[in-house]
Amino acid sequence: MATNNTSSSNPRAEKMGDVLDAMSSGIAKTAANEPKFEPKLLVPTVKCAVPVVPSEPARELLTEIMLADRWVCSVARLQRWRTVGEGPQYLKIVGKVLYRLKDIQAYEEACLIRKVL
C-alpha cells in the first residue's frame, strides 16, 4: 500500500508550507514599503559629444621610480646622475628623493634639441 505525501496528510509539510507562505508575504510587504530608487544627475544635462570625466589631479612631486617610468630609464641611472651632479634638481625629504614636476619639465625643455636648417 503506497502512502500519499500530500500536505493534508503530512503535518510537517503543512508547517513548512505555512512558513514559506509567511516568508513570501513578509518579503512582499518589505518590498512594497521600500522607497523606489531614482538616480539623480549631479552634473547639469548638457548636450555635448564628450562625456564629463573627472581628471586625476596632477602630481607636483614624483619619486625616482615615477620619473624613471616617465623617462623610460632605470632608477640606477637617476641615482648615478645625482651622484655626479647631472640631471634635474631634486629634493631629499626624510631620506626620500623627490623631483618637483616644474624642475623635471624645465630639464626636459633644456634637453630639447631643435633642428637647425
More confident residue, 44 or 110: 110
Residue 116, pLDDT score: 81
Question: What letter would DSSP give residue 85?
Answer: T
The predicted-structure confidence for 51-98, as pLDDT tens digits, reads as follows: 666 666 667 999 999 999 999 999 999 999 999 999 999 999 999 999
- Within-domain flag for 8: no
Residue 99, pLDDT score: 96
Phi-psi group of 35: left, alpha or beta (phi > 0 → left; psi -120 to 50 → alpha; rest → beta): beta
Residue 65: closest CA among 53, 52, 56, 74: 74
- Within-domain flag for 101: yes
Give the chain's domain count: 1
> Within 13 Å, how many C-alpha atoms sit on residue 43's CB side?
8
- Within-domain flag for 35: no
Give the span between the Cα atoms of 109 and 67, in whole angstroms.
15
Residue 62, pLDDT score: 94
If DSSP codes are grouped into helix, strand and coil, which group holds residue 30? helix
Strand order in the sheet with 91-93: 61-63, 96-100, 91-93
What global pTM score does this model have? 0.50
- Within-domain flag for 73: yes
Chain position carrying cell 500519499: 4
The predicted-structure confidence for 1-50, as pLDDT tens digits, reads as follows: 555 555 456 767 676 677 777 777 777 676 667 666 666 666 665 565 66
Which domain, by its residues, includes 82?
61-110
- Within-domain flag for 81: yes
- Within-domain flag for 91: yes
Residue 43, pLDDT score: 61
